[in-house]
Amino acid sequence: MIPPCDPSILESNPQFKKLYQNLTTSILNPDGSTRAQDAEPERKGAVEELRKCRVRNAKKQIKKGMLRRLAFEADSGLEDENRDNVGVISLYLDSTLTEKPSGTENGNENEEDKGTDDILTLLAPDIEKFYTVIPDIVPPFSSLLSSTVANLRNIANAGATNPSPAPATEPPLSRFRARQSLSKLNATPLLSKELGDRVKKLREIQLVELPAARREMAITAAAVLALRGQILEKTVELLERAKHGALARATKAKAEHLSAVARGVDRKLNVTKLTIHNEIHTPEAIAALGNYRKHLQDIQEKLKQREVRAIEELKNYDAYYPGADADSKQKGNTEIGSGELFEIARRYGQLMIEVDAVKGEIGRLERG
């Protein structure tokens, strides 16, 4: 079969449209065969033989279907005493044992023939009874077949304004079913139009919505796979942390390594400190510091001696000096101002008083 093509694709590609039309109308048949071989006599004979075989197979399938409906439908018109027998024969015809596969080996073929013979032997009474009741089966079989044909004709002529009436030779049951089907068709919209609309909608869904849905499904599947990968990664990480402890052991080893490195750095710093101390405190530097210490001690002794001499000199002038209060208490001296400096100050004060008195007298005389 030649697959149908989307009209939008044909409209967007004019050259492909011409090629597609040429293939479907001039070169190939709808079944995919070439039209050039249709005129050959051998092909015509083979096609005619194939058509006859298909017709025979279709008739066979129709008969089997009618027998099945007669056996299993309650309103088929078949008598109840014959229903079981027809059902057994219908099941036997529908089974795969009635058809022999082609190309079987000899051993398998003999076994299948033996199995078929056993089944035929088992079903021999039912088959003989079926042959005897065939005259009783023919009327309901014919009625059911005529009713089906009438229904198919009504469906085929559903779009016509005046559907053709059922043949006058039909049984009453088939006429009743035909009228019932016509009333249903008149009450419902045209079936051909509904089928066309439905096929069109299905085609639109196939060409438009289905690819989009597939893309969305692919995106969703990719997202699900990515999420699954993340979940697996987190699961492995949690297992390493909680159960297996590989990460904990690695962290502990790293901490121990850092601790050892820190201890090494501390020891290196101590060594560096001692090295710097040794480099600074050389024998020359120690000797120089000792000499400088002695020099400072000598200066301190000299300053103390000068301080003692200064205090002795201040004592001669009866001046205040550090420790004067303690010395006065030790001597028990409560007299204030008994030194030479105090005497000079007293005389200076008296002279200043006398000068002020003289100045006042002179001023009074000048005014008087």
Most confident of 83-97, 119-133, 158-172, 257-271: 257-271
324 burial via Cβ count (<10 Å: 0-12, 13-18, 19+): middle
Task: Please check whether residue 71 is in contact with residue 86, taking contact to mean a CB–CB distance below 8 angstroms.
Answer: yes
Comparing 42-51, 55-64, 168-177, the range with the smallest average pLDDT is 168-177
| Digit-coded pLDDT (tens) for 256-299 | 899 999 999 999 999 998 888 888 888 888 888 889 999 999 99
pLDDT over 50 (residue 97): no
| Digit-coded pLDDT (tens) for 100-122 | 544 444 555 566 666 677 777 87
Cα angle value 135/137/141 (rounded, 5°): 125
Distance CA 62, CA 320 (A): 152
Most confident of 31-40, 86-95, 303-312, 323-332: 303-312
Span 74-86, average pLDDT: 81
333: nearest Cα among 325, 345, 323, 344: 325
pLDDT given at position 327: 57
pLDDT over 70 (residue 173): no
